[in-house]
Amino acid sequence: MEEEVKEQKQAKNRRIAVGATVGGVLVIFFLLVVLIIQFVQMGVLNSESRKLSESIEEYHQKIENEEDILDEYLTGDALYWRAVMQGWKKS
């Protein structure tokens, strides 16, 4: 009788150990999946951030170029030369 009780306790302990092991493996697997997803999201966000920074820099360059052209037109020199090119004469 005592041997049956011991065997039942051992079987119960084995089932508990197997269950705990499976649970631990599942938790580790779940955490790895979450970690991989987070790294992928970080990579995507960094890529988007880099693209936005490049776009901002491109627009800053365009603004600077347009400001130079605007300054030329505001001084009147560019307007004068465009008028001359169109056939206007200074009176």
**Choice among 3-7, 62-66, 69-73, 83-87 with the minimum mean pLDDT:** 69-73
pLDDT tens, position by position, 25-59: 999 999 999 999 999 999 999 999 999 999 999 99
Give ∠ CA 60-64-65 in degrees, rounded to 5: 120
Q: Where are the domains of the chain?
A: 2-85
- 10 Å CB burial of residue 32 (0-12, 13-18, 19+) is exposed
Helices (H), 1-91: 2-75, 77-85
Task: Categorize the per-residue pLDDT at 91 as very low, low, confident or very high, splitting at 50, 70 and 90.
Answer: low
In the chain, the percentage of residues whose pLDDT exceeds 70 is 99
